[in-house]
Structure 1
Amino acid sequence: MLDTKLPDFTLPATSGTSFRLSEQYGKIVVIYFYPKDSTPGCTTEGQNFRDLHDQFVAAGAVVLGISRDSLKAHENFKAKQSFPFELGSDADEAVCTLFDVIKQKMMYGKACRGIERSTFVIDRDGVLRREWRGLKVAGHAQEVLDFVKSL
């Protein structure tokens, strides 16, 4: 999938918007997939992208967080954390499937299906340029920003 043009997709998002990949051409797109709203790791990850958001914008990038949570849950999470970017709801897992982020995971000793924490950077022409899978939150948003600045 790396260095290939991604198929277009549309996702319902917060603030009464929808996110359509083809409408982002001309910008760098950072999509981060996370397991669940308002959980410790996902909150920290979102806060890290929030805190660097002005630098992402200055580098010509738009940031989108995606999980399977409802738009209502996303709106609450976004408001509580003051996220300046939108959150996309992928309840039917279509975009998660496109990016192959649904994995078998262990939660409290039980196997379950869930989103593997992953981030993707798409260039101004809609071509996937970098991916991080199964990542650790600490320092990740800064690493993504450094890569975006190199494009």
Structure 2
Amino acid sequence: MPAIDKPAPDFQLPSTSGKIFTQSEMNGKHLVIYFYPKDNTPGCTTEGENFRDNYEAFKDLNCLVFGVSRDSMKSHENFKEKMKFPFELLSDVDEVACKLFDVIKMKNMYGKQVRGIERSTFVIDMNGILRKEWRGVKVPGHVEEVLAFVKSL
């Protein structure tokens, strides 16, 4: 489980850029890594739109944004294109990063227990240190809170 003010877990995942994202190769930039349950669902779409609409402000702070879910690359590519996301989506079909960041939880969906991603966001500073985490995220106002935190780094 990641710990605040300690090095963030290193991982590699395929990205919608066609390249392999490697967390440890991102030193020199702040990172926002947000985990979301599923492409093209209402809450996940709204969260992505909020990151999209604030993306330039993150970029101005030397901060890259990455969305992570268990969806396939094809699903991610379609979602990114449809929503015009300027940031990359990472495909974690094998739950590599999900396990490292401990975001897989049992959730109630339509009265049934299902295993899925708990909406969570992590900020990693330019030295690879985990500086902040949000778990069980509620979408309204969340991106603005993340942006305010990145400004404080």
Q: TM-score, normalised by structure 1?
A: 0.98
SS at match of 1:87: strand
1:29-58, CA deviations, whole angstroms, 9 ceiling, x for partnerless residues? 000000000000000000000000000000
Q: Paired residue for 1:128? A: 130
Q: 1:7 offset after TM fit, Å?
A: 3.2
SS at match of 2:144: helix
Q: Paired residue for 2:89? A: 87
- 1:75 maps to which of 74, 77, 84: 77
Task: Identify unmatched segments of 5+ residues in structure 2.
Answer: none
Report which stretch shifted further, 95-104 or 5-14. Answer: 5-14
SS at match of 1:3: coil
Q: 1:9 offset after TM fit, Å?
A: 1.1
Contact 1:33 1:66 (C-alpha < 8 Å) held by counterparts: yes
Q: Aligned pair 1:20/2:18, yes or no?
A: no
| Distance across 2 between alignment mates of 1:116 and 1:64 | 16
Task: Identify unmatched segments of 5+ residues in structure 1.
Answer: none
Give the 4+ runs in structure 1 shifted more than 2 A: none
1:49-107, CA deviations, whole angstroms, 9 ceiling, x for partnerless residues? 00000000001100000000000000000000000000000000010000000000000
Q: Paired residue for 1:62? A: 64
Written as runs of structure 1 = structure 2, the 5 A alignment for 1:104-123 is: 104-123=106-125
Report which stretch shifted further, 141-150 or 8-17. Answer: 8-17
Contact 1:15 1:75 (C-alpha < 8 Å) held by counterparts: no
- 1:145 maps to which of 117, 134, 147: 147
Written as runs of structure 1 = structure 2, the 5 A alignment for 1:38-53 is: 38-53=40-55
Q: Paired residue for 1:35? A: 37
Identity, % of aligned positions: 66
| Distance across 1 between alignment mates of 2:13 and 2:36 | 15
Tell me the C-alpha RMSD between the 2 structures.
0.6
| Distance across 1 between alignment mates of 2:53 and 2:84 | 10
| Distance across 1 between alignment mates of 2:84 and 2:55 | 11
Q: 1:23 offset after TM fit, Å?
A: 1.3
